[in-house]
Every structure is written in C-alpha cells, then in structure tokens.
Amino acid sequence: MAAPDFLATYIQNYQTLTAIFARLTAFFMLIPVLSAAGMPMQARILFAFSVSLLVLESGVCATIDPNGYAELSLIIAKEFFTGFILGFSVYVIMNVVFFMGQLIDYQIGFSMVSVFDPMTQTQAPVTGNLIYLAVCALLVQSGGLNALIALAAGSFRIVPIGKAVIIGNEPLAQRAALSLATFLTMAVRLSLPIVGAMLIVDVAMGLLVKAVPQMNIFVVGMPIKLLAGLALLWMLSPMAASICQEAFGTAMGDALKMMHVLESY
C-alpha cells in the first residue's frame, strides 16, 4: 500500500484514531518508566500516537462513526477515563515498593532522610526509591514494559471504543477498593522480613539497656539498627527480581480484571 493510501486511511478514520490516542495517552501517563517526569512530553505524545497508529492498523478495534462532534467528545472523554482507570490499576500495584520502602526506612532510621525523586517529582523514601529504580530496570530488561504496552493495545478487544461503563458501575468501585487492599497487604508482606528483624533488634537493645543501665541507648542503638538494616538489605537484594515479578504479575492481573468489570457491567 502506498504512503498516500495510508494517510487517506488515517484521515478517514481520524475519529477512531483520536479515541484510541485518548485511551493510550491516559494509560501511558501512569505506568512505570513512561510516566517518569524526566521523559519529555513531546516524546510521550509521539510514542502514544505511534502506538495508536499501530493499533488502528492492526484492526483490533472496530471503527466508530459518531453523530457529530458532541458525541465524539463524549467518546473521547470516556476513552481517556478508561485508559486512566486501567493505568491506575497498574500504577497502584507497581508503586507498592514505595510504601514498602517507607515501612523499612521507618524501622532502620531513614524515615527522616527522604530524597527528591526526579521521576515522580515527589519526596520518596531512600529504600523505596532504590527498590523502585531496580524494579523499573528489571521491567525494561525482562520485557515487562512491552507486555504493558501490549496490554493497553489488547484492551480494545475486551473493552471496545465507547462501550466502557464508568458512571454508576458499582463493581468498578469494588475492584478499585480491592486493588488498594492488595497494595497494602503486598507492601506489609514484602517488608515483613526486615521489619520483623528490626523488631528483634529492638527487643535485644531493650534487654541490653536493662542489663547495662548506664549505656546511652540513643548513641549505641541507632548505629546498630542502621548497620543491621543495611546488612539485611544487602542479603535480601536478590529478592528484587522476585518482587518485580510478583508486582508485575499482580498489576497485569488487576488490569485484566478491571477491563472485564468495565466491559461486562
């Protein structure tokens, strides 16, 4: 097919292309790596538009023919919120490492040393930021980012353009609440080894103070907790791959469940 034929096809289906672009843009705003503040906005828009062209050309979604620009605007708004909901389900689970790092930092003594994360433009815990960067690197290296892009493209098969039910969808609210509950339970469970070990250190320091009352616990205890925490982080560093795998698998599963809730309600 010649290049002018491609352009004619895209121009003829500009309404469908715009709806696809709205959903993918909202989705890419929230997933790891692509949502980093360091990525130029022009690059994000160009990437989302390129994927939109591929989705349109693949034929995974049916073309739309709205009656006027008012209906087209409603479809575009619905598609944007659909992509935002799907991206949020991934965002919540993939950011479990930040809360996990916050719990660990509180036990080690790093809770007062939060750093500015240029990727999210927020104050992030030291340990959580370190684990999140490792998870992002593993996500790119293992092809997880490609799987997220494929998930967004495949969402048009499950939830066709304009067919998502958002307002008044009670199962959608329940699914969002379950995602937040999964976020909390995963963070607590993944941080439990270090938090539990630090609790044992606290108990040992309390017994030591009882045995040696003249010892200054604040001078001795903080360095011991810090060294013990860093040693535990070093010993558990191989867990980064399993954390990435579990978080990614859970995020993909939640996004798929969210799609079926949007489509089947």
In this prediction, residues 38-65 reach a mean pLDDT of 82
In this prediction, residues 3-30 reach a mean pLDDT of 79
Q: How confident is the model at residue 262 (pLDDT cuts 50, 70, 90)?
A: confident
What's the CA gap between 105 and 225, in Å, rounded?
11
Token reading at 106: 């509180």
What's the CA gap between 35 and 92, in Å, rounded?
13
List beta partners, residue 122: 117
Instruction: Report the number of distinct structural domains present in the chain.
Output: 1
What's the CA gap between 230 and 127, in Å, rounded?
10
**Position 53: which residue type?**
L
Look at 10 and 99; give whichever has higher pLDDT: 99
- Kindly provide the b/e burial profile for residues 204-234, where b requires at least 16 CB atoms within 10 angstroms of the residue's own CB: ebeeeeeeeeeeeeeeebeeebeebbeebbe
Average pLDDT value over all residues in the chain: 79
Query: What pLDDT is recorded for position 116?
Result: 55
What is the phi-psi region of residue 61: left when phi exceeds 0, alpha when psi lies from -120 to 50, beta otherwise?
beta
What's the CA gap between 135 and 243, in Å, rounded?
8
Query: What pLDDT is recorded for position 95?
Result: 79
What's the CA gap between 138 and 8, in Å, rounded?
40
Query: What domain range is 211 assigned to?
Result: 3-264
Q: How confident is the model at residue 6 (pLDDT cuts 50, 70, 90)?
A: low
What's the CA gap between 50 and 145, in Å, rounded?
16
**pLDDT tens digits, one per residue of 162-177:** 788 788 778 888 888 8
**pLDDT tens digits, one per residue of 124-146:** 667 777 777 777 788 888 888 88
Helix or strand holding residue 19 (H, E):
helix 14-28
Q: How confident is the model at residue 62 (pLDDT cuts 50, 70, 90)?
A: confident
Residue 1 has pLDDT above 50, yes or no: no
Work out the percent of the chain whose per-residue pLDDT is above 70. 87
Q: How confident is the model at residue 200 (pLDDT cuts 50, 70, 90)?
A: confident
Helix axis angle, 170-211 to 96-108, nearest 10°: 20
Pair type for strands 122-124 and 115-117: antiparallel
What's the CA gap between 224 and 215, in Å, rounded?
14
List beta partners, residue 85: none
- CA-nearest of 20, 84, 82 to 56 is 20
